[in-house]
A and B are shown apart, each in its own frame.
Chain A
Amino acid sequence: MIKLEMQGISLSYNHAPVVDKVSFQVVPGEMLGLIGPNGCGKTSIIKALSRVLPLRSGKIQLDGQDINRLSRSQMAKLIGVVPQNPLMPETFTVAEVVLLGRTPHLGLLRHESAGDLKIVEWAMERTGMSTLASRKIGELSGGERQRVTVARVLAQEPVAILLDEPTANLDINHQTAILDLIRDLCKERNLAVLIALHDLNLAAQYCDKLVILKGGRLFTEGTPRQVITAENILAVYGMNSLVYPHPENTLPVVLASNKADNRSNNSRISEK
């Protein structure tokens, strides 16, 4: 079983510590959500996993191997990253961008083979981009661009996928569409999926397991039902809330409490 393990990792950003001795693991076929307030270290952990941010201490292992020992190409064939605001060249077509996902398999000079094109076509089809294959990126909507990046990552044929807040800036229908897609892919291809989310309800609906971070430390982990509670939310976010089971599947749904005296000091905007 190819596990993605984080063992006691600590990270600094510009010499300021942002993550302190966090450990957890992601197993294939499981969608793990990273949640917590802004600045809790979600994005930093994703960056550490994609080797953008160096570890101050601890180890990250994929399939028992320290990922820092892998070459870039090897990493790219194992882990795919869907960043928060990926830059894409406006004049490339969808097919061309998705084709870039085959880079780690192609090396410097080899030309794309029919097999590579098959994979690209499959990736586009799976993300619903086939009919838009020859459209230029500049002509796409935000949701469509998001899906192009997912298709590109799929073309890498990774065993693990990391997503950094994929639902930010999307309409609610596109938010659910992309998460549906990710979850289906996770189960179909037995991928280990780590997804950083800010929306607690989406996290509850889609993730098999959740890791809550607070101030760079692991606060708690467990299934959504175990972890998304009013007490935890108060402890982590400093806000009073109401947690109800979703009528369709009993997964927790979080509502902010509206009673004035139920708001804590932390969430009140200062009068001064």
Chain B
Amino acid sequence: MTTQQNQLNALENRVTWRRRFSIFSVAAMAVGLLVVGSLVLTVGSVHIAFRQVWAILVSHLPLVNLEVNWSSTTDMIVTGIRLPRIILAGMAGAALGVAGATYQGLFRNPLADPYLIGVAQGAALGAVTGFLLPWTFLGGYLIPVLAFLGALVSVSAVYLIARVGKAIPVTTLILAGVAIGSFLISLTSYITIISADKMPGILSWLMGKFSMANWEQVGLIAPFLVVGLAVIFIFARPLNVMQLDEEQAEQLGINVERTKLILMAASTLITAAAVCFVGTIGFVGIIIPHAVRLIWGPDHRTLLPLAALSGAILLILADTASRTLFPPTEIPVGVITAFLGAPFFLFLLRRKKKAVF
């Protein structure tokens, strides 16, 4: 064989091997997610034996007839409290991981996170306002609805300010996001200060919690998540191409402005859905994309699904820690992720010699 042929084979082999490794990684991590999820189901401030947890789960499957030797309360704890909570944590983690990876790719900036263009600040202001408003027609959904709307309004404001003609220059977007974000934070702080006896509730929301997770919330968030993630995954290749500068991406056939808009909208949607019930949880959106990129490289076709899965695993573990460290009290999840985030950033800084982005 000629050297040409050799090298072509080498390239083909590398690509094939790469692809197989990616598929294997995604499958393995999906399995890992299931394993972690089920293990974590058996843990909680109320002690329930491992085997019993499994028995309870299995007994809910159709066509299964198991002898019931546990109380209905125990069943409810496993299937009505822990299970939806774990799923919600997983969904939020997936959303934040993917949104973070998307923003880092869109802005070509390793410090970008899902909250860069005002999502968190808008959601926080909406939620905090919901705490204080005396409206009762939405009942317990007032806060999540206002949080969701707050996030969307905030990002829209940032987008409209940053837009120049039909284009959204990236630097302007970031600056507008920072400016509006700061303004919203100041409003939120003021409202928090005057919130009197609502302050513990507000602070809990701001630091993130999964304590009241239920199946209804799961059902409400799931469609946003599925649609948003699907859209983002479809645009993985354009996101790759956009790692060149925007001019080159246009010249390669990518409609850059439209891609930016679609990816921003989808990311905002999944982030808003993730935080409106559980509050603003930090660090997941930054840590996960970096960690995945370190191991699997920058190709978004692998990066995005892996970010979703590992984000889910991370947040499930963090939530488990939050409810098992000092039972029966809960540490806000945001505190746990911050605890993990700080050393991770130090680790990243020390690796600066080798380019990580």
* Given A87-B245, A138-B355, A130-B237 contact (CB < 8 Å): no
Query: A52 contacts which of B247, B255, B293, B357 (Cβ < 8 Å)?
Result: B247
* Given A72-B253, A73-B253, A89-B298, A108-B8 contact (CB < 8 Å): no
* CB <8 Å contact, B244 and A86: yes
* CB <8 Å contact, B253 and A130: no
Complex CA–CA separation, A51 to B248 (angstroms): 11
Interface string of B326-357 (1 = CB under 8 A from A): 00000000000000000000000000000111
Query: B245 contacts which of A86, A96, A124, A138 (Cβ < 8 Å)?
Result: A86
Complex CA–CA separation, A73 to B249 (angstroms): 11
* CB <8 Å contact, B4 and A109: no
Q: Which residues of A contact B241 (CB under 8 A)?
A: 100, 103
Within residues 1 to 30 of chain B, which ones have a CB less than 8 A from any CB in chain A?
4, 7-8, 10-12, 14-15, 19
* CB <8 Å contact, A104 and B253: yes
Q: How far is the CB of B290 from chain A (nearest CB, A)?
A: 11
The reply on B177 being an interface residue by CB < 8 A is no
Complex CA–CA separation, A237 to B251 (angstroms): 33
* CB <8 Å contact, B244 and A100: yes
Complex CA–CA separation, A125 to B245 (angstroms): 25
Q: How far is the CB of B9 from chain A (nearest CB, A)?
A: 9
* Given A96-B299, A108-B238, A109-B237, A90-B252 contact (CB < 8 Å): no
* CB <8 Å contact, B248 and A108: no
Q: Which residues of B contact A86 (CB under 8 A)?
A: 244-245, 248
The reply on B254 being an interface residue by CB < 8 A is yes
Complex CA–CA separation, A86 to B19 (angstroms): 28
Binds B, one of A58-66, A114-122, A202-210, A213-221: A114-122
The reply on B219 being an interface residue by CB < 8 A is no
* CB <8 Å contact, A104 and B12: no
Query: A133 contacts which of B4, B11, B234, B254 (Cβ < 8 Å)?
Result: B11
* Given A96-B299, A130-B7, A83-B248 contact (CB < 8 Å): yes
The reply on A134 being an interface residue by CB < 8 A is yes
Complex CA–CA separation, A192 to B251 (angstroms): 17
Interface string of B249-278 (1 = CB under 8 A from A): 011111100000000000000000000000
Q: How far is the CB of B196 from chain A (nearest CB, A)?
A: 51
* Given A76-B253, A106-B237, A92-B298 contact (CB < 8 Å): yes
Q: How far is the CB of B49 from chain A (nearest CB, A)?
A: 47
Number of interface residues of B (CB under 8 A): 34
Q: How many A-B residue pairs have CB under 8 A?
A: 98
Q: Which residues of A contact B299 (CB under 8 A)?
A: 96
* CB <8 Å contact, B237 and A108: yes
Q: Which residue of A lies closest to B237 (CB)?
A: A108
The reply on A199 being an interface residue by CB < 8 A is no
Within residues 85 to 113 of chain A, which ones have a CB less than 8 A from any CB in chain B?
86-92, 95-97, 100-101, 103-104, 106, 108-109, 111-112
Complex CA–CA separation, A89 to B298 (angstroms): 9
Complex CA–CA separation, A124 to B357 (angstroms): 24
Q: How far is the CB of B208 from chain A (nearest CB, A)?
A: 31
The reply on B297 being an interface residue by CB < 8 A is yes
Q: How far is the CB of B72 from chain A (nearest CB, A)?
A: 48
The reply on A75 being an interface residue by CB < 8 A is yes
Query: B252 contacts which of A103, A125, A130 (Cβ < 8 Å)?
Result: A103
Within residues 282 to 306 of chain B, which ones have a CB less than 8 A from any CB in chain A?
293, 297-299
Q: How far is the CB of B351 from chain A (nearest CB, A)?
A: 12
The reply on A195 being an interface residue by CB < 8 A is no
Complex CA–CA separation, A108 to B141 (angstroms): 38
Query: A91 contacts which of B11, B247, B298 (Cβ < 8 Å)?
Result: B298
The reply on A80 being an interface residue by CB < 8 A is yes
* CB <8 Å contact, B298 and A72: no
Within residues 121 to 169 of chain B, which ones have a CB less than 8 A from any CB in chain A?
none
Within residues 39 to 64 of chain A, which ones have a CB less than 8 A from any CB in chain B?
50-52
Q: Which residues of B contact A124 (CB under 8 A)?
A: 11
Complex CA–CA separation, A96 to B8 (angstroms): 14
Within residues 121 to 160 of chain A, which ones have a CB less than 8 A from any CB in chain B?
121, 124-125, 130, 133-134, 136, 138, 156
Q: Which residues of B contact A233 (CB under 8 A)?
A: none
Query: A121 contacts which of B11, B250, B357 (Cβ < 8 Å)?
Result: B11
* Given A96-B299, A112-B15, A114-B12, A125-B4 contact (CB < 8 Å): yes
Q: How far is the CB of B267 from chain A (nearest CB, A)?
A: 18
